[in-house]
Amino acid sequence: MKKILISIAGLLGIALSVSAQNPAPSRPQARPIALSGATIHVGNGQVIPNGIIVFDKGVITAVGDANTPTNGAQVIEVAGKHIYPGLISPASTVGLQEVASVRATLDFQEVGYLNPNIRALIAYNTDSEIIPTIRNNGILLTQAMPQGGVISGSSSVMQTDGWNWEDAVLKADDGIWLNWPGYFSRDFDFENFGVTLKKNERRQDGINVLTATFGDAKAYSELKKPATANLRFEAMKGLFDGSRCLYIRADYGKDIIEAVKFAKQMGVRKPVIVGGDDAARVVDFLKENNIPVILNPLHRLPNRQDEEVDRPYRLPSILHKAGVKVALSYAEEWWRTRNLPFLAGTAAGFGGLDKEEALKMITSNTAGIMGIDKQVGTLEKGKHATLVVSKGDLLDMRTNVVEQAYIQGRTINLDDKHKRLYNIYREKYGQEQTGK
């Protein structure tokens, strides 16, 4: 009987080793570390060749050239490599959904139309197998975004390493998400396999509801001690004192203008446009009102037949040159979020942007929009040691090879499902080719 139990235990051990899980979250930084010899891309446009970055207890203590003192830190030579701030993915459902066809893995949307009190934060799944795959392309921070309804709920900024959402959260409830009722609605035509536009017949009804809701929320926010707490209005308080953003999903020019004017009239301090396919058509309006834009993915065709085929590639440059703050996203495409750095590469390679300016659109610009720029987004003294070491250019898919990653100074295990499957099948087909 004892031999049988031992055999079963052995078989279970083999099964567990074959079906590997995500690596355990990293432990806090134990001693000072200095990365020496790499080209440091600070994230604010500055580049330091042959630089040194030193960090201790999760915080950067020094950044500079080769003469920067390391003060007894463990020196890791990374000559010839490139160091970047951890990339930030805004408007994402990474950690909120896993397999599109399995309903039990989808937790990014609540029933109802007005849900400002719903928090994406508590639905964030740190065990998602997608999270390690985006870390391997340099994405160390993601904004967990709710969807659905007219007011979807509040998002939070999460680190891509942690035992649970309490460990992973960097900034809780950074903003409320609003789906603006546009002039047109999109439907997918399964017969012709394409998207069709039709007039939104219920648009004005939606705007009327929003006007009443925001008006009531504004009045509620001015009460020092409400007689009865209202969860929806409590969640919206930050919109009127500037502590939270209002992220407005809008693509068409008229919708963008109308949505921004609505937000201003309601007393919202920090509106942000998300999507913005037509942003170039209203760029002067966006600049005049100091409205940042989180763009949809650039790897697509233009929405209008009369636009140049490379218009999406050039859109970040058009907005930047006009003085609009731009961030890039893979909104809704959770499993492709790992390609975020290549959007910036496309904006630089084909859109006319300087490469360091493109990098800002996935680091410091995004951090500034979300209100986390005092902690992350650039590699500067006093900020979190959240950074990646790449073999080459992080924005080029041919040279983006992340060899080391740190989140608040913690050394991140870069294993993931993609690598495990690659190793399994390389061994399988390697054996077949050698005849073993």
CATH of the domain at 391: 2.30.40.10
Let me know whether 352 and 315 are in one domain.
Answer: yes
Does pLDDT of 124 surpass 50? yes
CA atoms of 347 and 355, how far apart (whole Å):
8
Q: How many of the other CB atoms lie within 10 Å of CB of 425?
A: 10
Let me know whether 190 and 241 are in one domain.
Answer: yes
Chain centroid to CA 171? 13
Let me know whether 261 and 364 are in one domain.
Answer: yes
Q: What is the pLDDT of residue 200?
A: 77
CA atoms of 298 and 314, how far apart (whole Å):
9
Q: Per-residue pLDDT tens for 95-115? A: 999 888 888 888 888 888 999
Let me know whether 354 and 326 are in one domain.
Answer: yes
Going by pLDDT thresholds of 50, 70 and 90, the confidence category of residue 331 is confident
Q: What is the pLDDT of residue 9?
A: 44
Q: What is the pTM of this model?
A: 0.90
Let me know whether 238 and 266 are in one domain.
Answer: yes
Task: Find the range with the poorest average confidence among 131-145, 215-229, 346-360, 421-435.
Answer: 421-435
For the chain, the straight-line distance linking the first and the last C-alpha, in angstroms and rounded, comes to 36
Which tokens in the block code for residue 371?
Answer: 């209100």
Task: Find the range with the poorest average confidence among 6-20, 342-356, 393-407, 416-430.
Answer: 6-20
Whether 318 is covered by a domain: the verdict is yes
Q: What is the pLDDT of residue 335?
A: 84
What is the rounded average pLDDT of the residues 406-431? 90
Let me know whether 343 and 384 are in one domain.
Answer: no
- Measured CA to CA in angstroms, residue 14 lies from 9, 192, 305, 384, 416 at distances of 9, 50, 57, 39, 19
Whether 11 is covered by a domain: the verdict is no
Number of domains in the chain: 2
Does pLDDT of 17 surpass 50? no
Let me know whether 331 and 257 are in one domain.
Answer: yes
What is the rounded average pLDDT of the residues 375-396? 97
* Higher per-residue confidence, 249 vs 103: 249
Let me know whether 77 and 178 are in one domain.
Answer: no
CA atoms of 56 and 34, how far apart (whole Å):
9
CATH number where 171 lies: 3.20.20.140
Whether 4 is covered by a domain: the verdict is no
CA atoms of 37 and 49, how far apart (whole Å):
8
Whether 436 is covered by a domain: the verdict is no
Range of the domain at 32: 21-86+377-414
Whether 13 is covered by a domain: the verdict is no
Let me know whether 336 and 265 are in one domain.
Answer: yes
Does pLDDT of 282 surpass 80? yes
Whether 2 is covered by a domain: the verdict is no
| Contact (Cβ atoms closer than 8 angstroms) between residue 100 and residue 304 | no
Let me know whether 97 and 27 are in one domain.
Answer: no
Does pLDDT of 325 surpass 50? yes
Let me know whether 239 and 266 are in one domain.
Answer: yes
Q: How many of the other CB atoms lie within 10 Å of CB of 215?
A: 13
Whether 7 is covered by a domain: the verdict is no
Let me know whether 127 and 225 are in one domain.
Answer: yes
What is the rounded average pLDDT of the residues 315-329? 96
Domain boundary among 328, 345, 375: 375
| Contact (Cβ atoms closer than 8 angstroms) between residue 327 and residue 294 | yes
Q: Per-residue pLDDT tens for 185-204? A: 766 666 666 666 777 778 88
Whether 75 is covered by a domain: the verdict is yes
Q: What is the pLDDT of residue 5?
A: 44
